[in-house]
Amino acid sequence: MIEIRWHGRGGQGAVTSVELLALAAIEEGKYAQGFPAFGPERRGAPVMAYNRVSEKPIKIRSGIYNPDVVVVLDPSLVGLVNVTDGLKPEGLLIINTSKPAEDLREQLKYKGKLATVDATHIAREELGVPIANTTMLGAVMKATKVLKLESLNEPLEERFGKIANKNKNALKRAYNDVKLAK
pLDDT (tens digit, 9 = 90+) per residue, 64-97? 999 999 999 999 999 899 999 999 999 999 999 9
pLDDT digits (tens, 9 = 90+) for 6-24: 999 988 889 999 999 999 9
- The pLDDT of residue 38 is above 80: no
Average confidence score pLDDT of the chain: 94
- DSSP letter (8 states) at residue 146: -
Per-residue model confidence (pLDDT) at position 46: 87
- The pLDDT of residue 44 is above 90: no
Spatial distance between the Cα atoms of 96 and 74, rounded to a whole number of angstroms: 6
Contacts of 173 (CB under 8 A, 6+ apart): 122, 126, 135, 138
Domains of the chain: 2-181 (3.40.920.10)
Confidence of residue 37 (pLDDT cuts 50, 70, 90): confident
State whether residue 175 is helix, strand or coil.
helix
Spatial distance between the Cα atoms of 73 and 90, rounded to a whole number of angstroms: 21
Per-residue model confidence (pLDDT) at position 138: 97
113, β-bridge pairs: 92
pLDDT digits (tens, 9 = 90+) for 103-155: 999 999 999 999 999 999 999 999 999 999 999 999 999 999 999 999 999 99
